[in-house]
Structure formats: structure tokens, C-alpha cells
Amino acid sequence: MLLIKEILSNKNINSKITFSGWVKTKRSSSNICFLMINDGSTIKDIQCVINLNDIKNIDLDKINTGTSVEINGIIVESKGQGQNIEIKVESLSILGTAEDYPIQPKKHSVEFLRDIAHLRFRTNTFSSVFRIRSVVSFAIHEFFQNNNFTYLNAPILTSNDCEGAGEMFTVTSFDLSKLESKNIDFNEDFFGKKVSLTVSGQLEAETAIFGLNRVYTFGPTFRAENSNTTRHLAEFWMVEPEMAFFDLKDDMNIAEEFLKYIIKAVLDRCPDEIDFLDNRCKNEQNYSLKDKLNHVISEDFQRLTYSEAIDILINCSKNKNNEFKYKVEEWGIDLQSEHERYLTEEYFKKPVILTDYPEKIKAFYMRLNDDNKTVAAMDILFPGIGEIIGGSQREERLDYLNNAIKRRNMDPSYLNWYIDTRRFGTIKHSGFGLGLDRIVQFITGIENIRDVIPFPRYPKHCEY
């Protein structure tokens, strides 16, 4: 049985074929019925023409939008506009009816479709998004495999908080309904300690580079942050490469190359989906998606330090600074999304890599610079998104690492295994993290991150 994508590619006129799909639209004229069919293999539909004088046994009343059918027919040249070929139907079987189908051939809001996430794959917008997400995922593996990385499966259950933020989901085998006290003794739990869902596979990946040189993890991560913004999810996918013998400059270089590779792969392999989403962006958001993506590929990312960025933000027009919800008045603050977007969208008008952040606002594992107040960190900022990659050169010096842990009042006993890597053959090394959902959001032009993951999890929502 052929896929519609294969039929549209081959265009073998007068060939007899069999294929299946779902009805997108139905219209009748005299004794002719026209069905637009899609099977999910492509965003494009194929027109099927039924001559009711030739085929008597089709109950058209049972065929509605959403009905699944199997069609036997002949490929013929189309006499209508909008398609080169169509199918002259010889026989049709109804596989499944679709009464009261909620997705009709009209525009639906993304909020409406989010409430029926199990059906939204059938729309052009979401089928395009998730085909692109698949290509992005493949390109990620492709890039790292082509650059001598080893794919590593980081654990989902962990006893460490990589970022130190404390916003983690606790995992337990206790029957919570039978607990008499809120003071849980995790020594009696399944693992004999408190265990959570991971927020990052970075620390585990770091240990692996000492035997594998370059590794990357790619999997689900979790954060119990009570946030309802368009940029946050409770369950999201992270790509986290770690590289032995890389300094911060090496880290920035490969991260920029990586992002451009992914975007180019989508432009090359998903032209129909990008065309559709480009038209959507032009109509709804008044910009060209294709122009935005090609601009990122063709431009060198702007590189500057955090301190230079602060100066720009402080010295930008007084009126502009007053428009910020969070005003920039001094060195040392944590930049907000509005500041990141100003730098990328208004000041430089292209992606930006910020480096050398204040040590106090970054994680314990980042290498302390010689000024003793900044760390060798880098964030890549994208227009419309803000931070899309966060990375750093890792602190390879044992005494510096121990001091960083102590300054943050962290319990070192949970990190003995990590500290061991600095005891036995320590080296300079670097890495970064890319949120899969955020890069898909950028590439597709979708405004809410909940609409680029198949089944979004966020506060008060875990429906499937």
C-alpha cells in the first residue's frame, strides 16, 4: 500500500494504486464527488474523484471530515487548479466513520486544539510542527555522530540537583495515602535516599568524557517550576553534549555550528512544512519565517561579554530602559527575557552569544575566571526566544570546585562521584544544553512552547 507522499512524488500517470487516509474535505457537484485525502505522510492532500454513475455502492452520507477510507483507483492528470494529479476512484471502503468530529475544515485556535491534544496531529499546523520536530531530532543525532560523539543515556531518576534550584519532582515508592507524618524518612524508601526526576544529564555526561572524549545525552528532563509562561514546560527534552579538552571558545564554536546545522537540515528536508508555516507567520505575525531562518544561517553570531551587554542595556535610550519590566541599573543582575530579546531583535538584530557571567548567578560547576567574580559561561540568545543554549567551560580544578560547592552550602556527599573526576586525571572540558522544544519553537514560529511538544505538561495539566 502506497503513501500519499510516494504517490505525489512518482506521478505515474495511469498507474493503478491502493492507499488509505482520512477525509479532509468533501464536496459534490452533480454526479461527481471530490474528496481531499491525507494520510499523515505529507502536509499535502490528494484529490480523489468519484463518478457516482460508475460507482453505485458508496454511501456518501457516511463520509465526513475525519472518516478513514481505503481507496483503489488510477492516477490521472488533474483538470483542476492546485494539483498536477488526482485519483480516479474505482472503489472505496469506509474504515472508520467520524460523527461529531471536532476538527472541521476551518481555522481553530491553538488553545482549542491544546485541549484535544490527542487530535491536533491531524491539522496542517501541528502535523507540520511534529514532522519538523522529528527532522530536528534526527539532525541532532546526525550532527553529533558525524563529529565523533558517543550517544549516552543519562538517568531519569537522580539523587542530585544539577542546577541547584531545588525545583524537582520527588519520586517515591511510599503509599502517600497511608503516611501518618509529613516528615518522610527517605532512608526507608525504595532507594534509601531522596530521589527526584532529573533536571539535567550534564553531570553524568561529564563523567563519561573521561573515557569517551565526546558524548551527548538526549532525553526528557523535568522541572517543578510553577510557571505558566509561553516558554516553560514541566517536562521537556534536553540535548547536552560534553567535550573533553574544549575551552569556552571551542564550546561556542561548536554550539553555533550545531544550531546552524539543525536549521539548515529543516529548510532542506521540510520545504512544504516550512512554506505552510511561513505563510502562517506572514498572516498572523507579519514576518517571514524563511527569511528569519536563513538570516540565522548566514550571519555570524554576535559575541560579547555579560559586562558589555549590561553597559548596552544601561546606556540604551532612557525611554527604552523605562519600558523594561525589569530595569537594568547595575552589574550583577540576572538578565530577563526582555533584555535578551532587546539585544537580539533591536540592538544587534541577530543571534547573540553572551559570555563571562557573574559567578553568583551561575551554577557551581562553571569555571571561575581569573577576575574571581565571573565564570566562563556562555548563553546563546535567539530573536523571539531569548536563551536557547546555555553552556560553560566546567571547573576542572579540584580545590576551586570544592570551594564553589561550599559557598553554595551544598552537601558534597551527594557529589563525591562527580568530584572524583577532578581527582583522577582532570582536564579542561566544556559543554552546553539545548532545549529541543525551544529550537522547534524557533524554527516553526509557534508562539507557545506547549504547542511544539506532543503532550504538554505544565501546572495543573497532565491529561494523558
Furthest-apart CA atoms within the chain: distance in Å: 86
Helices 248-269, 289-298: inter-axial angle, 10-degree rounding: 140
pLDDT by position in tens, the chain (length 464): 899 999 999 878 999 999 999 999 999 888 899 999 999 999 999 999 999 888 878 888 999 999 999 999 999 999 877 789 999 999 999 999 999 999 998 889 999 999 999 999 999 999 999 999 999 999 999 999 999 999 999 999 998 887 766 689 999 998 887 777 777 888 988 999 999 999 999 999 999 999 999 999 999 999 999 988 888 899 999 999 999 999 999 999 999 999 999 999 999 999 999 999 999 999 999 999 999 999 999 999 999 999 999 999 998 876 677 788 899 999 999 999 999 999 999 999 999 999 999 999 999 999 999 999 999 999 999 999 999 999 999 999 999 999 999 999 988 888 999 999 999 999 999 999 999 999 999 999 999 999 999 999 999 999 88
- Give CATH superfamily name and number for 4-96: Nucleic acid-binding proteins (2.40.50.140)
Helices 416-423, 202-212: inter-axial angle, 10-degree rounding: 30
Strand 302-305 relative to strand 352-358: parallel, antiparallel, unpaired?
parallel
Residue ranges per structural domain of the chain: 4-96, 120-451
Q: How many residues does the chain have?
A: 464
Alpha-carbon distances, residue 236 vs 152, 193, 386, 436 (angstroms):
18, 25, 17, 8
Residues 6 or more apart in contact with residue 224 via CB below 8 angstroms: 167, 168, 169, 234
Identical topology for domains 4-96 and 120-451:
no
Taking alpha carbons only, the member of 40, 18, 28 closest to residue 273 is 40
Label residue 161 exposed, middle or buried (CB < 10 Å: 0-12, 13-18, 19+): middle
Q: Which residues pair with 33 in a beta bridge?
A: 28, 50
Helices 124-146, 271-284: inter-axial angle, 10-degree rounding: 130
State the Cα–Cα distance between residues 350 and 291, nearest whole angstrom.
Answer: 12
DSSP state at residue 268 = H
Digit-coded pLDDT (tens) for 267-324? 999 999 999 999 999 999 999 999 999 999 999 999 999 999 999 999 887 667 778 8
- Report the CATH fold assignment for 120-451: BirA Bifunctional Protein; domain 2 (3.30.930)
Digit-coded pLDDT (tens) for 98-123? 999 999 988 899 999 999 999 999 99
The CB density around residue 420, as the number of other CB atoms within 10 Å, is 12
Digit-coded pLDDT (tens) for 239-259? 999 999 999 999 999 999 999
pTM: predicted TM-score of the whole model, two decimal places: 0.94
